[in-house]
Amino acid sequence: MGRKVLCFGLTCILFSYYMYRPVPDNIEDKWKIEILDALIRTFTPVGLFLENIGVVRFERLLSMITEMDFTGPVSDENITVTDTTFSDIPVRLYLPKRKSESKRRAVIFIHGGAYIVGSYKQTCYDILNRMTANQLNAVVVGVDYRLAPQYQFPIALEDVFAAVEYFLHDEVLAKYRVDPTRICISGDSSGASIAAVVTQLMQNHPEFKRKIKAQALLYPVLQIIDLWTPSYQENAHGPMLSRDIGIKMGCLYVTTNKVCIEAMGLNQHMPDESRHLFKFINWTILLPEKFKKNHVYTEPILGRYGFIHSEIIDPRLSPLVVNDIQLQNLPLTYILTCEHDIVRDDGLMYATRLRNVGVQVAHDHMEDAIHGGLAYLGRIFNFYQATKLRDKYISWLDENI
């Protein structure tokens, strides 16, 4: 008993200590973020400690927390919601009840969660997808995929690809009365990475080449080869998502090798033969002036760790790292970036690269927002920035697909 009280007391002290770490002043929902950020700062070391002594893996702990927020397929007066499968991949379908003469638009949504947690079942995604279906009178499909580290790259991508491919068949689109010329694929964070890769792969698909009209990428992760861009540097210690935790989690999609994770932390994880890839993400050229600030570009140290994970240079992990030819036929693109976010520069650089080859890009930058904004759309935390982000995304869809 005494020990428990001591532990609790120490946790409280730690909590209050961390509480006083200020988050940037211009952030929306400042006090809510301060509390949540303090909780994350307090419980991250606890979680890491439990992992180190072999009680529970960190990602499992995160899964357990995420699963508490799952919600079932509940229809309402406007939308019929059902859980089903597309080509054996679990999906949640939102079908508007409203009668309409013409065919409907469709949105495929891929959730984030660093490839290790998450589902369309989370309340935040359910709210978002339901609202999209309602406001656009569109068919919305939330797609799940198997998660790392149990299922590593490219399983998540293959799952989503299979579900999207199934949905794009004419007879399936006809069944749901979807207009085959008005389909968008969307995602947030790692889900946006998958959305971007699926969109790239679909260009070469013999049957479905031009079926995707638009892609919407919300605070996307678009490369894992340079983990020392200005946004990684500026937001290394959060708020909410620190660089260390981001790398620790995202890494599990590729490897559980501790040495590799450590190398990523030092940004020395790329093999020697990857030198030619760095020109595709040279932020000194691709970032707008305002985001370069006083940062100094340092050439990455390559091959330092002597091992080659050939996956690490696979463009299906880093859709930003492909040549112009593979970008120039991409569809209309919406990119949303957040200022206080380690992957902010990924989105900014993709916007530049796409525009350079003539792809039509709409870009929204939220000065006062953090990574993962959508996760704070819900019953417990309803952040103002989350509703703002949601409204920007839905109104863009409404005007563009």
Ligand X SMILES: *[C@@H]1O[C@H](CO)[C@@H](O)[C@H](O)[C@H]1NC(C)=O
Catalytic residues: 189
Q: State which of positions 79-138 bind ligand X (CB under 6 A).
A: 134
Residues in contact with ligand X, shown as a per-residue x/- string from 52 to 81 under the rule CB under 6 A: ------------------------xxx---
Give the x-and-dash track for 291-320 against ligand X (CB under 6 A).
Answer: ------x-----------------------
Q: Does the footprint of ligand X cover residue 356 (CB under 6 A)?
A: no
4-26: string of b/e by CB count within 10 Å (b at 16+)?
eeeeeeeeeebeeebeeeebeee
193 binds ligand X (CB under 6 A): no
Q: Under the criterion CB under 6 A, does residue 272 sit at the interface with ligand X?
A: no
Q: How far is the CB of 348 from ligand X (least distance, A)?
A: 16
Contact between 278 and ligand X (CB under 6 A)? Answer: yes
The verdict on 223 binding ligand X (CB under 6 A) reads no
Choose the binding region for ligand X from 81-89, 121-129, 275-283, 386-394 (rule: CB under 6 A).
275-283
The answer to the question of residue 276 lying near ligand X (CB under 6 A) is no
**What sign has the CA pseudo-torsion 121, 126, 128, 130?**
positive
- For 13, the token pair is 């002290």
| For ligand X, the closer CB: 133 or 245 | 133
Q: Which is nearer to ligand X, 35 or 302 (CB)?
A: 302
**Site track 242-271 with ligand X (rule: CB under 6 A), x = hit:** ------------------------------
Which sign, positive or negative, has the C-alpha torsion 107, 112, 116, 120?
negative
Contact assessment for residue 219 and residue 373, using Cβ atoms and an 8 Å cutoff: yes
Nearer to ligand X, 16 or 82 (CB): 82
Q: Which two tokens stand for residue 87?
A: 């080509």
Q: Which is nearer to ligand X, 77 or 399 (CB)?
A: 77
Residue from 150, 282, 328, 395 touching ligand X (CB under 6 A): that is 282
* Sites of contact with ligand X (CB under 6 A): 76-78, 134, 278-279, 282, 284-285, 297
